Chain A
Amino acid sequence: MDLILPSSGLIFWQLIGFLALLYILIKFAWKPILSSLEERENSIDSALKAAEQAKAEMANLKAENEKLLQEARLERDNILKTANEASAKMIEDAKQAAISEGAKMIEAAKAVIENEKKAALTEVKNQVAQLTLEVTDKLLRKNLSSDAAQKALVDEMVKDINLN
């Protein structure tokens, strides 16, 4: 058989063999392989994109959370500040009120004492007057018996009603 002269038999079989192989492989191998390769590439692509998106979303969420937290902190500080102020004011007010009330009460007490004192003095005076009248009365009655005794009695009486 010749080296550089193609033989008809081999060409015939090669054509049949190769074309049959080509047909079978295209139909049963290359098409499913290539399509599933493409599908896989697409799915990897989309998965990567989705991951990227999820990452961006996470970052967004985190930033938002941070912002919310910051806002909450600010608000808390504000609330604390106003509460402090309010309590301080209340304490101050209460103090003022207590002081003025105390002053008023002292004032009133003083007035009452003064009144009581006056009343007591008046009472005492009245009593003294009464006693004096009684004593005078008794003295007057005793005087009838003895002057000396009368006098002694009056003195004693007078001594008794010492003005406090």
Chain B
Amino acid sequence: MFRKFLCLSVLFSAFLLTFSTPTFAAGDEEDKTGFIMHHIKDSYEWHFATLGHTHVTLPLPVILYSSDRGLEFFMSSDFQDPETHKFGEAFGQDVYYIDDHEHLHRADGGSFIDFSITKNVAMLFLVVIVMGYLVLSAASHYKKNGVSAPKGIASFLEPIIIFVRDEIAQKSIGPKYKKFVPYLLTLFFFIWIGNLMGLLPGAANLTGNIAVTATLAVLTFIIVNVNGNKEYWKHVFMTPGVPVPLLLVIVPVEIIGLFTKPFALMVRLFVAITAGHIVILAFIALVFIFESYAIGVVSTLMVTFLNVIELLVATIQAYVFTLFTAMYIGGAVAEHEHH
């Protein structure tokens, strides 16, 4: 039944498509898909919806620091046209203004550092609060009840905690795994909850932001290399079993390898989450492009389907990031390297 319905609506929409093609003008296309990149990228305000001409937004603080002007606080609404909610050079504050592409500029060309609570930072705080609440309330159960069976949130988190401890940490790191379990657990839950909350309507694309994934990757890089033992560094700088002339080639490759590992972590998470959001939004954008009810049915079905896939991707990416982190740590602390 469901399949027939799906096929029928696809056919129907293809039929309608032939008639509707001439109806959209070339100039509107930018506008119709612009919201995709707007959602994917960070923003100085949190825009939820546009109802008619009313913009439902949450203005966020803009915090700037420059050596000559010191620390300055604004709200994102200070930089907007109060009527249209559009950013622009005309609505600047002192020397700062936000352009149409949501870039913050300084009119006199001086340097500054941007500490704004952007949409993603606000999202980050939300994720931290949600995760902190979940894990701390689970922890309070253990503190109160000791070794008795888990209940409530604790029973939901416990299998995941045991999975991360036994399947990820213990298997990838080996006997010295215990020290790294808290970091891996935090990493897993942060990415997982961040991915899941990012899928909520109106949420920000936190874990699909390169700054976030880069920070996590750098932390992993630091933890791996701080804990690297003698054999790990020997493997990098004096790769055993390699003739001396070849070391001239191997050593630079090994050193680059140190950096490509976290780089891969950073890119993988960024791409997987951002691509997922783009695909979902692209299907939604189809509705606005074709302006057809049939397409609406199809794209709704597809968006539902993709959302389910994204639930899976959210978990897999959290697992993969944690697993690779554990494997890199395992490689750095292992006593017997395999050559």
Contact = CB atoms under 8 A, between A and B. Distances in A.
Given A9-B121, A21-B190, A40-B147, A14 B212 contact: yes
A1 B43 contact: yes
Contact of A18 (B102, B117, B219): B219
Contacts of B154: 33
A29 B139 contact: yes
B181 A34 contact: yes
Nearest to B215: A14
B210 A8 contact: no
B114 interface: yes
A133 interface: no
Interface string A32-44: 1110110110010
User: Which of B131, B161, B215, B219 has most chain A Cβ within 10 Å?
Assistant: B215
Interface magnitude class on chain A? 35 or more
B245 to A, nearest CB: 38
Nearest to A5: B210
A17 interface: yes
Nearest to B157: A33
A17 B40 CA distance: 21
B186 A25 contact: yes
Interface string B120-155: 110011001001100110110011001100000010
A30 B116 CA distance: 31
B42 A39 contact: no
A9 B114 contact: yes
A145 interface: no
A11 interface: yes
Given A1-B102, A33-B161, A9 B138 contact: no
Summarize B's interface: helix, strand, loop or mixed: helix
Interface in A17-55: 17-18, 20-22, 24-26, 28-34, 36-37, 39-40, 43
A35 to B, nearest CB: 8
Given A2-B41, A3-B41, A17-B128, A25 B114 contact: no
A8 B186 contact: no
Contact of A36 (B117, B125, B142, B270): B142
Given A18-B219, A37-B161, A10 B42 contact: yes
A36 B117 CA distance: 38
Contact of A30 (B63, B113, B182, B270): B182
B147 A10 contact: no
Interface of B: 37, 40-43, 63, 101-103, 113-118, 120-121, 124-125, 128, 131-132, 135-136, 138-139, 142-143, 146-147, 154, 158, 161-162, 165, 181-183, 185-186, 190, 209-212, 214-216, 219, 270, 274
Q: Lowest 5 A-B CB distances belong to which pairs?
A: A6-B211, A29-B139, A10-B211, A30-B182, A40-B147
Given A1-B42, A34-B181, A36-B146, 8 more contacts: A18-B216, A24-B132, A25-B132, A25-B186, A29-B136, A37-B158, A37-B165, A43-B147
